[in-house]
Amino acid sequence: MSSDLVEMYRRMVLIREVEQTLVRLFAEARVPGFIHSYIGEEASAVGVCSALPTDSYVTSTHRGHGHILAKGGDLRPFFAELFGKASGYCRGKGGSMHVTDLDLGILGANGIVGAGIPIATGAALASRLQSLDRVAVSFFGDGATNIGVFHEALNMASLWQLPAIFVCENNGYAEFMAQGAHQRIERISDRAAAYVMPGVTVDGNDVEAVHAATAEAVERARAGGGPTLLECVTYRIRGHYEGDPEPYRTEDEIDRWRTRDPLAIAAERLRRRGSMDDATDERIRLDARVAVEDAVAFAEAEPLPAPQDALEHVYAGRLEEGWPWDG
């Protein structure tokens, strides 16, 4: 497992470098829109995606950079999208909260809380109807487990024994509200019992624990055993969004979670096993910095979308003659 952990650590370091770079670029007003940082949650995305077959489907969230990168996303179109450039994954029209790559099985990040849950359930249903064994995974936060489509989707997935994995990244807060203020339960995985499916809670900052739990859920799903609700208990070190004043939590709380940094946990484990030394660690981090610097330079040099293409590659219909409100 050490060789697998090296690769998972490498991917987590890359995601951390990407997120730290985006925080800086946003502060310098070099990227438009909002940034919801994934710093502190890297083990969740990497642990899940490293255990998925390559043809798996994934639906993501407004905090979705880590998901597409963990599944093998290309840094150049990724950064181009966040810069609003025509060579971006969504041709510059999606931005940070909507990065999508259908070729990777990423069915879309989504700014609407919980909206990816029924999409992943639909993908799992399509897999079943086509007699495929493709697994569909939905990432979402603790707040999303309070909305209707969460319960509707889990009920349907259980009823039809769909190959779905519902991954709750429980970072302790639904936007600005602590979990204890919006739920009576402590373990979100307990909600699985109502739908007669396995509910598993793991340390979301331990990438190997997440990987192992996901691998078991994948095996069950592909064998016809139905869905799993996987809760990854983690923490976002940054605010809900960049610029969030964070009056709802204390620095002491953040500092306590910094001691559970998923990158530090993995690095220490690799050193104990003799699978990584300081020189190797520095090389991994340097490789990540070089790759990110290359992607940023590429994105900044790319052109913006042409104004005449504003209605191309979007879901809204295009009118041939004028607009409904003309005249």
CB of 56 closer than 8 Å to CB of 217: no
Residue given tokens 């799903």 in the structure block? 221
Question: Which has the closest alpha carbon to 55: 167, 135, 139?
Answer: 135
State which amino acid sits at residue 44. S
**Integer Cα distance of 8 and 178 in angstroms:** 29
Q: Cα torsion at 256, 176, 231, 100 (round to 10°)?
A: -110
> Given this model, what pLDDT does residue 2 score?
56
Tell me the residue ranges of DSSP E strands in the chain. 57-59, 136-141, 164-170, 173-174, 177-178, 199-203, 228-233
pTM recorded for the entire structure: 0.92
**Integer Cα distance of 158 and 54 in angstroms:** 24
State which amino acid sits at residue 24. R
Residues of 187-218 as b/e, b for ≥16 C-beta within 10 angstroms?
A: ebbebbeebebbbbbbbbbbbbbbbebbeebb
Predicted confidence (pLDDT) per residue in 51-96, tens digit: 999 999 999 999 999 999 999 999 999 999 999 999 999 988 888 8
Helix, strand, or coil here: 106? strand
Question: Which has the closest alpha carbon to 162: 211, 114, 195?
Answer: 195
Alpha helix (H) residue ranges in 130-193? 148-159, 179-182
Contacts of 316 (CB under 8 A, 6+ apart): none
Residues in the chain: 327
Contacts of 27 (CB under 8 A, 6+ apart): 242
At residue 201, φ and ψ (nearest 5 deg) are -110, 130
> Given this model, what pLDDT does residue 327 score?
41
State which amino acid sits at residue 148. G
**Integer Cα distance of 23 and 260 in angstroms:** 21
**Integer Cα distance of 26 and 23 in angstroms:** 5
Alpha helix (H) residue ranges in 73-140? 75-82, 116-129
Low-confidence ranges of the chain (pLDDT < 50): 323-327
> Given this model, what pLDDT does residue 48 score?
98
Q: What angle do CA 148, 149, 150 make, to 5 degrees?
A: 90
**Integer Cα distance of 250 and 107 in angstroms:** 36
Question: Which has the closest alpha carbon to 299: 96, 158, 140, 124?
Answer: 96
**Integer Cα distance of 253 and 104 in angstroms:** 36
